[in-house]
Amino acid sequence: MALRVVASLAACAIGLGAASFSGRVVRILDGDTVEVLQGQTPRRVRLHGIDCPERSQPYGTRARQFTAELAFGHDVTVIVHDRDRYGRVVGEVILPDGRNLNRELVAAGYAWWYRQYSRDLRLAVLEWMARWRKRGLWQDPNPVPPWEWRKQENRRRSSPAGALRYHTGVHMRGAAGSTGLVGAAAAGFRACSSARRIRSSASSISPRCAACSLESVVCRSAATWPRMALAALAAS
């Protein structure tokens, strides 16, 4: 009963009489994405009007933890605003005590007001207050908005060098032999769990690329890499 009352009040608050449903939060995917069990059907919900740091960003993990602390295992009401291109419900999550999870994240400094998709000036005010009080991510003097972070990641992965790093993982070759995992990791290359280890001419065990036999750690999809990535690897 209490959940129905909260849902009605919240719907009136946005002035749209938006559709809503209730259920238990059974999974936290990111700070701004949760899974709510409606009956026996899990519904993925992207929080409307906010954008939390990506997991690879500073405060991304803390944002996810904050959402889990407030919502995981609780019965909530979801006010539906839309559906995104991935089929997720886009909405506001109302907690059992009536608080709005979307706003709580912004107020705590674990989310940005997603101004590109929201005209909710309450979120703008909460973000300004969090900035002023240096809460959460605003302790960082130069925080990067997650939408800008994603653009940078996409550009990095689409370049030949970026494709090399993304697909190849940790590149082991250097001017004087192997740079080692530590040096390669420091250069920005990622390890791959599906690398095949074979014996080198020196009879030592070393990671090798299944596509070009260079001393590298690679993923199982090596045969399908773009030619430019393989060319960049051969030239490195």
Q: Output the tens digit of pLDDT for each of the chain's 236 residues.
A: 444 444 444 444 433 445 999 999 999 999 999 999 999 999 999 999 999 999 989 999 999 999 999 999 999 999 999 999 999 999 999 999 999 999 999 999 999 999 989 999 999 999 999 999 999 999 999 999 999 999 888 887 665 555 455 444 433 333 233 444 444 444 544 444 433 333 333 333 334 444 434 434 333 333 333 444 444 445 54
Domains of the chain in start order, with CATH, are: 2-147 (2.40.50.90), 159-235 (no CATH)
pLDDT of residue 188: 47
Q: What pTM, to 2 d.p., does this model score? A: 0.62
pLDDT of residue 156: 76
Closest among 171, 155, 161 to 216, alpha carbons compared:
171
Q: Which residues pair with 173 in a beta bridge?
A: 178
List active site positions.
46, 54, 88
Whether 223 and 235 have beta carbons less than 8 Å apart is answered as no
pLDDT of residue 164: 52
Beta pairing, strands 89-94 & 41-47: parallel
Measured CA to CA, the distance from residue 7 to residue 199 in angstroms comes to 64
Q: CA 101, 113, 116, 118 torsion: positive or negative?
A: positive
Tokens of 100: 């709005």
